[in-house]
Amino acid sequence: MHAQQHQAKVFLFGSLLSLILVGCGASVGKTIKVSDEQLSRYGTLSAKDAISALEIRVKDAKTANMPFLAPNYFREASEILNDAQKSADKKPKVELVSDVAKADAILDKGQTRMATVQRNLAKELAMKDQLDKDNVANVFPKDYEKSISELSSLIEKVELEKAENIDKTRIELIKMMQDLDVRTIQFTALHESDSINEDTRSNDGKDQAPATLAEALRVYQDAMNRIAQNPHDKETVRSAGTDALFAANHARYVNRRVLSLQNKFKKSIEPIALEEEKRLLDISTALGHNDLRDRPIDKQASELAKAAGEIVLGQQKSSQTIGAVSDQSKALEASLKQANDAVTQADAKIAAKDTLLSSINAQVAVKNAQLTDKDVLLTNRDAQLKVLNDRVAQLEEQNKSLMTTQTAKAQSKSKPKAKPKVPKTQPTSAAPH
């Protein structure tokens, strides 16, 4: 990037230098007349103050971008100023004041021509501002220099009132600048995914993982089109870049997985790798987790295991429930480990039999049988995961019941007991005589 910035500065300097050199061929001051008011204004000043006043005018013109929008007028006024500064003590004051007033008149006319340039080339100048905003000079310095050079040529024609028959050139320039701007935005948003896709392609991705790489390239091209349709919408550009990068990483890690397994199998196993990944995606979806397919498969598995553990731990509300779930989790983890060990052993058996069997047909038959065993093991693993999920659901229900019972007990204890009513003593009636 540093080299690109340096190159861009070189091109910009070359563009401005060529602009100045082109302007040297035009003399705009010959037809400009100095007014009596200008002569009078500078004539009342000393030679030193007149030069200082002109210095301020030239500085203000430079700030207003006259070197770009009216280069010939700015150049001649600057030359007069330089000459005046060098010969301030040699020229008579009358001649010096006349030169300064001439430069002042040239700058006045330059301001007028600047306004004309800005009015007639409004679209082209707006496109230049957009190119600068999108950092085109650093991304594509040569193309940027070319577009600015052509814009400078149009500016000079309008400045010197020689702008006949430039409509076609203007249309072509605007199109070139628009295309360059879009190309820059696309590059900035998608160059990382493009590099990853190229790396996958160079590592036999077209042969080892053709379906996944083709999908990554399709998503990349779709991102290019989306950006081209709305290049200055930040959300569109961000979303397109994110989608392309996800697909590129997905293809890269699937290709790496295929290459690592290819040593064990003689036929294409991209479908196996994708099926393995699909099982992990199903688990991720069931857990409500993010899509992890833009990461290596082993990292997908470890992150899902961590997420499942966090979910289980987060659902425990009492020491009894925590103990029960811990026991179940350990048992199921041990079962899963056994399943993983069995898969590893199955792979080892396949590799051993590959070296012993000489018949290609026999090798294929044995491998198919082993793959069937692996599918059964993976199915058992899925069943075990289902048992874990069912057990967690049961524990959640138990926890809810426990919490309900505890709440009810707490509420009953908190209510004050009613005092028993004591019946009033009735008067004893007199015994009949």
- Which tens digits make up the pLDDT trace of 265-279? 655 556 666 666 666
What would the mean pLDDT of 149-161 be, rounded to a whole number? 95
What would the mean pLDDT of 279-304 be, rounded to a whole number? 70
Give whole-number Cα distances, 405 to 139, 314, 400, in Å: 68, 21, 9
The pLDDT score that the predictor gives to residue 252 is 95
pLDDT at 15 over 50: no
**Residue of higher predicted confidence among 51 and 411:** 51
Q: Which of 140-144, 176-180, 187-191, 326-330 has the least mean pLDDT?
A: 326-330
Q: Are residues 153 and 290 in the same domain?
A: no
Close Cβ partners of 75 (under 8 Å, ≥ 6 residues apart):
20, 23, 24, 67
**Residue of higher predicted confidence among 292 and 199:** 199
Percent of the chain at pLDDT exceeding 90: 45
Q: Which of 314, 333, 361 is the last residue of a domain?
A: 314
Q: Are residues 109 and 43 in the same domain?
A: yes
The per-residue DSSP string of 4-53 comes to: HHHHHHHHHHHHHHHHHHHHTT---STTPPPPHHHHHHHHTS-HHHHHHH
What would the mean pLDDT of 346-364 be, rounded to a whole number? 60
Gap between the Cα atoms of 69 and 114, Å rounded? 5
Write down how long the chain is. 433
pLDDT at 64 over 90: yes
**Residue of higher predicted confidence among 386 and 325:** 386
What would the mean pLDDT of 405-422 be, rounded to a whole number? 63
Q: Are residues 264 and 395 in the same domain?
A: no
Q: Are residues 237 and 124 in the same domain?
A: no
With b meaning 16 or more CB within 10 Å and e meaning fewer, what string describes 305-330?
eebbeeebeeebeeeebbebbeebbe
Model confidence pLDDT, tens digit, residues 90-99 = 889 899 999 9
What would the mean pLDDT of 178-197 be, rounded to a whole number? 97
The chain-wide mean pLDDT, for the chain, equals: 80
Query: Is 408 exposed, middle or buried, given 0-12, 13-18 or 19+ CB atoms closer than 10 A?
Result: exposed
Gap between the Cα atoms of 81 and 98, Å rounded? 12
Which of 316, 311, 324 has its CA nearest to residue 399? 316
Q: Which of 28-37, 193-202, 215-224, 308-317 has the least mean pLDDT?
A: 308-317
Residue 424 lies in a domain: no
Calculate ∠ Cα 128-130-132, nearest 5°: 70
Which of 289, 267, 270, 269 has its CA nearest to residue 280? 289
Q: Are residues 134 and 264 in the same domain?
A: no
**Residue of higher predicted confidence among 102 and 296:** 102
What would the mean pLDDT of 354-367 be, rounded to a whole number? 60
pLDDT at 421 over 60: no
Q: Are residues 38 and 141 in the same domain?
A: yes
SS3 220: helix
With b meaning 16 or more CB within 10 Å and e meaning fewer, what string describes 152-186?
bebbbbbbbeebeebeeebeebbebbeebbbbbbb
Q: Which of 365-369, 370-374, 393-397 has the least mean pLDDT?
A: 365-369
- Structural domain harbouring 101: 2-164
Which of 69, 177, 56 has its CA nearest to residue 120? 69
**Confidence band of 408 (pLDDT split at 50, 70, 90):** confident
Q: Are residues 7 and 137 in the same domain?
A: yes
Gap between the Cα atoms of 337 and 159, Å rounded? 80
Q: Are residues 197 and 58 in the same domain?
A: no
Which of 278, 281, 264 has its CA nearest to residue 211? 278
Gap between the Cα atoms of 148 and 296, Å rounded? 46
The pLDDT score that the predictor gives to residue 321 is 52
The pLDDT score that the predictor gives to residue 401 is 77
Q: Which of 273, 292, 314 is the last residue of a domain?
A: 314
pTM of this structure: 0.56
Q: Which of 284, 314, 344 is the last residue of a domain?
A: 314
